Amino acid sequence: MICARESEPWGTGHTFVVWVQQDKQSGQVHSQGFGFYPKIEKVIVRLFTGDGAVRDESTKSASIKPWLLTHRLIVQVDRAQFEEGLNVKDRWLGSGIDYHLLNRNCTHFGHAVMTAIQLGAPEPEFGERPATYLARLMALNLGRRPSAAEPVTATLVNGQR
């Protein structure tokens, strides 16, 4: 699931990825979410750029407040795609990739995961905000590959779609 949320208390918003899996036998659901952040989160002091870091979204107070969530694109994938998405996260995790507020940010991390799972998502535009990017993806009806069973439509959290 690719998500966009508002920032707290202000800011451009945030894109993050949540991997959800359900054990078919027990029915238990496990999830983990990650996003790409500036390592030092006062990025404005460093003129919008600095070292980047992949962070566990469960440790971010804004990400556990459902009223800040604006968009979610739910995609069903097979095991290989699921693992490839996690591999992208692992590659970014210790890579030393620089963060840049306008052209290598949390949305680019989400795009890298979507590319790995072969979703066909277009690249984020320069400076595009997370909610704008997710809304654009949802308008393209990116949700599942045509070869899959019935399509899972993208949904806005606020119920507009």
Summarize pLDDT for 18-43 with one digit per residue, the tens. Answer: 999 988 889 899 899 999 988 876 65
What whole-number distance in Å separates Cα of residue 45 and Cα of residue 108? Answer: 22
Q: How many CA atoms lie within 13 A of 125 on its CB side?
A: 9
Instruction: Establish if 104 belongs to a structural domain.
Output: yes
Instruction: Establish if 65 belongs to a structural domain.
Output: yes
Instruction: Establish if 133 belongs to a structural domain.
Output: yes
Which carries the bigger pLDDT value, residue 103 or residue 152?
103
Instruction: Establish if 161 belongs to a structural domain.
Output: no
| pLDDT (average), residues 137-157 | 57
Instruction: Establish if 19 belongs to a structural domain.
Output: yes
Q: Which residues 6+ apart lie within 8 Å of 127 measured at CB? A: 102, 103
Q: Is the per-residue pLDDT at 48 higher than 90?
A: no
* Interior angle at CA 85, CA 21 and CA 147, nearest 5: 75
Owning domain of residue 129: 2-156
Instruction: Establish if 100 belongs to a structural domain.
Output: yes
The sign of the CA dihedral 18, 160, 128, 9 is negative
Each residue of 62-108: pLDDT tens digit? Answer: 777 888 889 999 988 999 999 999 999 999 987 778 888 888 899 99
Instruction: Establish if 51 belongs to a structural domain.
Output: yes
Counted domains in the chain:
1
